[in-house]
Chain A
Amino acid sequence: MKQRFLILLLLLPILSFAQTNGSVKGLVSDSVHDYGLQSATVTVYKKADSSLVNYQVTNNQGEFNIGELPVRTPLLLSISYSGYNDFSKEVYLDSLKKDFDFKKILLSRDTSRQMEEVVVKAVVPVRMNGDTLEINPDAFKLDSSAVVEDMLLRVPGVTMWSDGTITVNGKKISNVFVDGKPFFGGNPEIATQNLPKTAIEKIQVYQEKDYSKQDISNTEMDSTFTMNIKMKPEKRKGFFGKIGAGLGTDQHYEGDMTMQAYNKKTKLAIAGNLNNTNKTIQDVREAIQNNTFRSYNRRNFGAPNANAGGLNTVHYFGASLQHNFDESTNSRFTNSAEGEYNLRDSRNNQLTNSTTIQNLTGYTITNISDRRNTGSSLNQSIDAGYENRKQATSFSTKANYSWNNGQSSSEGNTTAFRNDTVMASRRRNTSAATSHSSSFNLNGYFNNNDYDEGINKKSFSTNFSVSSNNSESNSNQTSRFESFLDSIYTQNTDRKYHNENSNFTTNIGMNYNGLRSLLFGNYNFWNINIGLRNNFRYNKSDLNANVLELDTLTNTYQVNEALTNINSVVNIEDRPGISFFKTISRTLSDRYYKSISFRTDLQNQFLYQKNTSTLSYRNLERSFHFFTPSSSVYYNYNRFNQYNLNIGLSHNSSANAPSIDQLYPIVDNINKYNIVVGNPDLKSPLSNNFNFNANYNTQRFNEKTTYTAGLNLGYNTFKNSISDSSIFGNNGSRTSYLLNIDGKRSFRGDVNASASFRINNKNMLQVRYNGGAGGSHAPQYITTKKQDGDFLTQLIYTQTRNQNHSIHVFYSLTDLFNISLGESINTNNSQQVGTGKAVLKAKTYGTNARFTLLVPKNFTLSTNVNYLNNISAQSQSEEATLWNAYATWRFMKMKQAEIKLSVFDILRQNRNITNFANDNNTTGTTITNGIQQFYMLTVSYFPRRFGGRTGRSGSRRSESGEQRQQRPQQQFRQQNNTQRGGGRR
């Protein structure tokens, strides 16, 4: 695999292009008053197919000098400037005369009426209009079926990362809007891979405040970058979708149907999917993002989910409707309602094999288990929401009702070995269950900003949520436990559980941000903002459990008095606090901006807990309070047009009261390998969390390379953490007693770095590295029975360490091919400190490669290989190579039809393998069956129309006709902008 990688790297430099070293220059001037026309657009086209070769905007003196032009090719130079007649002239450069000087080119004023149709061939691809970067689609000559993404791949400064992220001049785009509003759920691909380039007027990129933040502490870090795709006015309604069906070997099938329709105010999406190929469709958004028009998508949507456990069959139907009550295209304001319905019928068939190893003081216990699960469920849900955001107030509410019927059955065998050799015990269990549940959720917020005088006296925000769940389940569980080392411990259990649960939770939060003005009036208190906050939470859960147990003597089911109970628990939490916030910033125009923000929240947490139960030992009433402060410092340094650096350091603390099931659990001994016994003396654990992060990115306008780097460090400590004291029987059974132990801590560090190099207009290379390391230190007691019969109790510390590194290289030659290679390593260690036990290590190596060939035209060949090698704690190697291949052919004039041949898992090796290392000194490997080799032939059709029914439909109109139609409007706009651009303060 590594060799392959090297070969490809060596190949890269060979993939350069024909000689382009000609140039043209000249001076564009007003014919009457003879002065240089600045910002006139000079564009060079290939004469043969009028494709854009290069362009330039004239400088302050009206001059231009365009290089990188092909020689021995007939070219057309065209100059346009608003209010003037166009100029165009043919140029032919050859090796003897590579540089041509036009000298002075006089443009004459256009004396005809302004609004008359003027054919202008040149437009500026990218320009800054004030704070907004504007991308003009008409400047990019592409195939008539091209979508927005095809264009973005060619825009200087825009990087489409191979993981789906979009950055513009190094800044990550957080939102992609269409006409100022999220487009069908807001996933960028739904807009960029569906909307045809020809339907777009322009794309704007700008910075805006994060309106979802409800707090007083808006800092530089809270602002986000938005990309807004502005549709041409006549294209602001249309529909697009996909209908596809596929049949495969081994009775595999899939069917897709999505349809999205939109107009200025309303968006409707309908989606359906039937498959038994492990495609997991949860909601409308996922269904439509799996079925975008662009034939090549970077994230490999729509392929079977190789990580899904078992074999799954899904029948899905969903619909969503979004309606804006006004036609405003301003993303700041909204007044909209939305609704969604989802129905999902799924069946799952799963085989799981797992091995876990646990280090005890004198020996190890290895559990080997296999398990077979079958299940089916029918889920339905209805969502409704309303949002209204105005200049000073915003209100949002969302409601959801869902209901679910499920059935499942499983059987499993577990065998426990002592020191890998001596069989200690065996358990066989079966379970059959049916359940139905329903839940209702309502949540929302209301914010009021009193921004009229900048004094915030009436500035507050509230949020609320109510949720109610009801569920009922019946299950029958049997267990046969055989102990080989301790013969008294053989046990058969056969129980019927009938549980009825109901749960009600409500949460109300309030923030008041005007305390400073209220206390000090006009005095601004050294610019320290003060906020008051309170969060109230009420929760009640009721459980009615009926447990019947088979009495082997009478062969009848008798009530199990220990487990049958009615329980009701009430938790009330209130968290009042006061917060202080201050920002100090320094600017030196054209040089730097720096700011540092401090924030501290002083909060107290009051908890009240009451439990009533038919089991008398579980009746209790308790209350607690904790002081849980949090603080943070953020630093931002922005060197203009060079780089941006953000550093943050934060601390927070929180406490949790032990739950009734930790204090007085109902001990169910059906699973001998894990019996939990509570502890009524448990204290509340208090955690302190520290986090440090740093981000760096270059910020050079129109630069060809972009670098970003980020670092994140986290450290948590726990006081009175709830750990356990486990007593292990000879046969591997385990009983845990919960208790408080200090000294638990964990850390986590992540580094990510990425670089993108645009070698020229078509060649792009991206490199990404993600790395992380984490670890924990957790104390616990272990009690084992020694050979002489005595019990030995020992305090041990489990140390876990895990690391993951991945490097990803992506190279694309637009329109020809792209290739990505990745290598990842994950390691997990677990070690007992103080017992001299050997370190348990598990490693996973992953290598993946993906290659997509896009020639000949309309034909896409793509293949990906994913090789995994898992080395478990016992040094056993588990390997699996998943190799898939796809061939896609697009046909019809607008490429609306597709035939696709897929081969999944050519090598018939797909399995899901995971390694883990837990705090309680356990490491293990789990292997689940996955879907294996099949061939499938899929036929799809993409119905699309953008623009009204009258006249020729947008998608069928030729590119040049499109441009001519739009010109006058555009010209006028451009002209306004030029003037405004210069005059911004």
Chain B
Amino acid sequence: MKKLMFVCWAMWLCTNVFAQAKTLYIDPSKTIGAPASRIFDEIKFIPLETTKKSIFGAIRQLVVTDSLFIVLDGDTDALYFFNRRGKFLQKYRIRRYRIRDIQLDRTKNALLIFSINKNYNIPSVQVQEYLEPDARKDVSKFAKATWYYLDNVAAAKTEDLKNFRYAFTNPVRFDKNKFAASFIKAKRTARDTLDYQLKIIDQSAVLQNYFPYNKKTESVYYYAGASQCSIMPTQNDSVLFVTRPFQYEIYTLTPSAISESYKLMLPMDNAVPASFFNTGFSSRGEMDTYKMEHPSFAHKIENVISFKNLMFFNLNLFKGYNRYLYDNKTSLIYDYNKITSDSSTYFLPVSGGIKSFDDEHIYLSLSAKSMFNSKKASEYRNLQYDEVLTRFFATRKETDNPVLIQLKPKEDLTTK
């Protein structure tokens, strides 16, 4: 039912391409907080099993399926498969490749893995050449996309996409066989001027283009590893959220169109001024210097996750980032860092970054060290932990794997 409602809402958005986007006024000094029990309904702690084979550093990405938690760990460059109770099932690495991104491909019941070869440093100029429509070179050696079939995790059956050039960028699975991807790079010597910030592609060709930019003159995109659009999956496979660098709109992308859903208004201290786009940066060094001098300017909106009345998002600044929760019903903006732990969370912090979400929940993680530190800090409360936590604290160590936290955001938030 909720899924259907969401689709309806998304459809409504699509049909209202020209409709006025909702403007959110975000003043970091006026945001509010709340105890966790006012925001979340259910809370569940899922310790991930620690064995000699399954020990990993920190969760960089988490994919949640009906039966699995799949963790991408940047420290060990590997995937770790756990069942929903946290039992370790399988570890997977691609020899010589660094796994950059994982996505769930529901149509194939597979995990889509994007990885790049550790033995090569491909400069962005080179990537741009590989992405030209007339490029012929087979790039599988440098960057690839792989399906890992989830029917039988232990079998580790995989299949590579043949010569998928956009594996260099940040493609997101979209509308069955398509991807949305972004590769923005300007340089003075570019052959032509027109390029697009967002492209809808299939395995080889560009199908649609959005957001044109000037490849010769837009100097904010000159430098290597220039900022790209953020493309974020939603609970619906054919709807994506898209945000652009240095812009404060949140777009909704559907197979047929793109529309502006929200627009953030920031205080002057946090918004990049118009002069920024005319500055004429000549190198990454100059850009980095500008960023250092203006650390509070907002760079991009990221990690947009939407539930019925709530929307979680990050506002990335030139240095650091802020995380917010917007309540559509009351138009209140919560600073996620001000959501305090309380008895509903056993006074364990729930303010970490959101690693994943599904139809009803968001997932966070907490390192074993933080778990134990929090327990120590709350010792005077004489808490009665639930069975899972009691066992965790009794049998685990500070150096164990992180613990997943599953939280169900409330449908209607109440303020006191």
Contacts and interface: CB of A to CB of B under 8 A. Distances in A.
A590 B369 contact: yes
A453 B416 contact: no
A983 B34 contact: no
A35 B121 contact: no
A790 interface: no
Nearest to A449: B285
Interface stretch (A518-526, A667-675, A696-704, A722-730): A518-526
Most chain B Cβ neighbours within 10 Å, of A36, A59, A453: A453
A983 B35 contact: no
A3 interface: no
Contacts of A83: 29-30
Given A34-B416, A83-B29, A452-B284, A589 B367 contact: yes
B153 interface: no
Nearest to A34: B416
Interface in A5-46: 30, 32-38
Interface stretch (B166-174, B190-198, B333-341): B333-341
Contacts of A838: none
B177 interface: no
Interface in A431-489: 451-455
Contacts of B368: 590
Contact of A523 (B119, B125, B126): B119
Contact of B121 (A33, A62, A524): A524
B119 A983 contact: no
A587 B119 contact: no
B34 A35 contact: yes
B322 A983 contact: yes
A974 to B, nearest CB: 11
A390 interface: yes
A453 B125 CA distance: 9
A977 to B, nearest CB: 9
A82 B29 contact: yes
Given A451-B285, A976-B296, A62 B340 contact: yes
Contacts of B317: 980, 983
A894 interface: no
A33 B369 contact: no
B337 A983 contact: yes
A562 interface: no
B283 interface: yes
A589 B58 contact: yes
A60 interface: yes
B57 interface: yes
Contact of B323 (A32, A33, A983): A983
B349 A590 contact: no
Given A522-B123, A523-B120, A589 B75 contact: yes
A589 B119 contact: no
Given A30-B32, A455-B123, A983-B323, A60 B284 contact: no
Interface string A572-590: 0000000000000011111
Contacts of B415: 33
Contacts of B29: 82-83, 114, 975
Contacts of B295: 980
A980 B319 contact: yes
A855 interface: no
Nearest to B380: A65
Most chain B Cβ neighbours within 10 Å, of A392, A454, A976: A976
A453 B123 contact: yes
Contacts of B338: 35, 37-38
B416 A33 contact: yes
B121 A983 contact: no
A36 B341 CA distance: 9
Interface in B100-143: 118-126, 142
Range of interface residues on chain A? Answer: 35 or more
A32 B119 contact: no
A587 B56 CA distance: 9
B120 A587 contact: no
Contact of B285 (A32, A390, A587, A591): A390
B37 to A, nearest CB: 10
A249 interface: no
Interface string A29-73: 010111111100000000000000000000111100000000000
Nearest to B269: A976
Given A130-B320, A523-B119, A330 B283 contact: no
B57 A522 contact: no
A454 B57 CA distance: 25
Given A391-B289, A982-B337, A522 B121 contact: yes
B223 interface: yes
Contact of A35 (B30, B33, B285): B33
Nearest to A25: B380
A912 B194 CA distance: 81
B151 interface: no
B57 A588 contact: yes
A36 B292 CA distance: 33
B264 interface: no
Interface string A896-924: 00000000000000000000000000000
B55 interface: yes
Contacts of B342: 61
B285 A522 contact: no
A2 interface: no
A984 interface: yes
B11 interface: no
A60 B335 CA distance: 14
Contacts of A979: 28, 320, 322, 335, 337
Nearest to B340: A36
B61 to A, nearest CB: 13
B163 interface: no
A985 interface: yes
B75 A587 contact: yes
Contacts of B75: 586-589
A304 B369 CA distance: 55
Contacts of B125: 453
Nearest to B316: A983
Given A35-B35, A589-B57, A982-B337, 14 more contacts: A60-B349, A114-B29, A390-B285, A391-B285, A391-B288, A453-B121, A524-B118, A586-B75, A587-B57, A588-B56, A976-B28, A979-B335, A983-B337, A984-B320
User: 4 nearest interchain CB pairs?
Assistant: A391-B285, A589-B58, A980-B320, A589-B57
Interface of B: 28-30, 32-35, 38, 55-58, 75-76, 118-126, 142, 223-224, 283-286, 288-289, 292, 295-296, 314, 317, 319-323, 335, 337-338, 340-342, 347, 349, 351, 367-370, 374, 377, 399, 415-416
30 contacts: A33-B33, A33-B34, A35-B33, A35-B34, A35-B35, A35-B38, A36-B33, A36-B340, A60-B341, A60-B347, A114-B29, A390-B285, A391-B285, A391-B286, A451-B285, A452-B283, A453-B224, A454-B121, A524-B118, A524-B121, A588-B399, A589-B57, A590-B57, A591-B369, A975-B29, A980-B321, A980-B322, A982-B351, A983-B322, A983-B337
